[in-house]
Amino acid sequence: PSPHLRRRLHVSRRAASAAPLGADRPPVTLPRVWHAEVPAGDLGERIIVVGDVHGCLDELRDLLERCGYRPGRDTVVLAGDLVNKGPKSALVVRFAREEGLLAVRGNHDEAALYAKHRVSYYADTPPPDSYAY
């Protein structure tokens, strides 16, 4: 097969730039980003692309059902923003992993990862007054 059809995994390390809340906070190193090229023969009969799920698992499942999604025969690509806004962000990620769906990391996914890694560093620091209810 030609080089662009062979499976290739490339691992890179991304570091966030300056912290948005102030220069006193160090940059956070985010998890590894996996890039994969999937051979055309491994994509199944159909490719279903869904964008901006935003934590809405029930709606995602309903959409896939309406598309006639067939696990093992179709490939689903989630085109960014799996999390935030909706009530089931973690369950969307779990569903995608369990079903073997492909995904592209969107800006909301990036923000959630960034926040998760910052929380442990600042767990003992009270939130700013501007976050008071």
Q: Using CA atoms in the order 70, 90, 9, 19, what is the torsion angle rounded to 10 degrees?
A: 150
For the question of residue 108 being annotated catalytic, the response is: yes
Strands 102-104 and 8-12: what pairing?
unpaired
Cβ proximity of 47 and 78 under 8 Å: no
Residue 55 neighbours by CB under 8 Å, 6+ apart: 82, 83, 84, 85, 86, 87, 88, 89, 91, 92
**Catalytic-labelled residue, pool 4, 35, 108, 117:** 108
Residue 67: phi and psi, rounded to 5, are -80, -10
State which H helix or E strand residue 89 sits in: helix 89-99
Instruction: Point out the residues that are catalytic.
Output: 108
